[in-house]
Amino acid sequence: MPVRRRRSTALAAAVATAAALGATALATVGTTTASAAEMPLEGYELTWGVKQSYRTYVGIFGTFTTADGASQATGNGAFTFVDGAGTYDTAGHTVDLAFQGTLVSASKAHGFEVTLTDVRFDSKAGEITADVKKVDTSQGTPTTTEGDDVPLATVAVTRDMKDMATTLTAEAGDFLGSAGYAGAAGDPLTVVRRRRRPRRPPRRPPPRSRSPRSRPRRPPGPPPPHRRRPRPPTRTRRRRGPPAPARPRPRPRPSPPRPVRPPPRAR
């Protein structure tokens, strides 16, 4: 009987160990699958005008100021935020992107300044969020209100993410200064990826064809020195003592006259 108890105890321990290892393996596989389902994204742009009536109101009584990469289209148009980066969920086919840029809407006449930063777009939640800071000076004393990841609008997400319909939230109405904006239709939203064109190397002029008779040109710089063979040194003979007097040349002697032969006699 004691032997059977030992065997049953050992068998139970082995089954428990196998179950623990199996649970650990399943948890590891689940973690790997979840991480493999997300892909990094970068180089996206978000264009949104918030609401046209709000832009008209600020354009009359104040100004819009963009910084840190954000820009506004001409004619008091929509705003664009750049360098969007985040992840893409391959299982749910959703994106979560954060964009760079700062937008400030201010009016000294009506005493407000609203700053938007860290604009984000989550297609799974279907919303636009941003970090918002509002300074109200309409009552004389400045009052500051801040919020992180404030939902500004809900988005009817489409597959191509272009001209998506938006609806402003109650939080947007609080920060934009009018409760009437809550539930109102906002401007269409577009999220696209901007591909950067590769820089082409500068074109070099084609080499000039040289004829076989033409001589190669010398590289720029001082001309090379002429190589000449050194001349052997001339040997000078040293004379000992004073120079000898020049000898007089002998005068040529006159040659004797030749004998004159008599003419032959006539026969």
For the segment 237-265, what is each residue's pLDDT rounded down to a tens digit?
666 667 667 777 777 777 777 776 777 77
User: How sure is the predictor about 19, in pLDDT bands with cuts at 50, 70 and 90?
Assistant: very low
Which of the pair, 49 or 263, is modelled with greater confidence?
49
Percent of the chain scoring above 90 in pLDDT: 52
User: How sure is the predictor about 209, in pLDDT bands with cuts at 50, 70 and 90?
Assistant: low
> For the residues of 170-213, what is the DSSP string, one character each?
HHHHHHHT-GGGTT-B---EEEEEPPPPPPPPPPPPPPPP--TT
User: How sure is the predictor about 228, in pLDDT bands with cuts at 50, 70 and 90?
Assistant: low
pLDDT at site 39 = 93
76-96 residue pLDDT tens: 999 999 999 999 999 999 999
Average pLDDT, the chain: 80
pLDDT at site 232 = 73
In 3D, which of 143, 162, 158, 150 has the Cα closest to residue 45?
162
> In angstroms, rounded to a whole number, what is the distance separating the alpha carbons of residues 227 and 233?
18
Among 11-15, 42-46, 138-142, 247-251, name the most confident range: 42-46
Helix (H) or strand (E) holding 32: helix 2-36
In the chain, where the domains are located? 38-193
Question: What b/e readout covers 211-222, taking b as 16+ CB neighbours within 10 angstroms?
Answer: eeeeeeeeeeee
> In angstroms, rounded to a whole number, what is the distance separating the alpha carbons of residues 22 and 245?
132
pLDDT at site 212 = 58
Give the burial class of 133: count Cβ atoms within 10 A of its Cβ; 0-12 exposed, 13-18 middle, 19 or more buried: middle
Work out the average pLDDT over 23-49. 68
156-193 residue pLDDT tens: 999 999 999 999 999 999 988 888 899 999 999 999 99
pTM, two decimal places: 0.62
Which of the pair, 216 or 193, is modelled with greater confidence?
193
Work out the average pLDDT over 48-64. 94
pLDDT at site 71 = 95
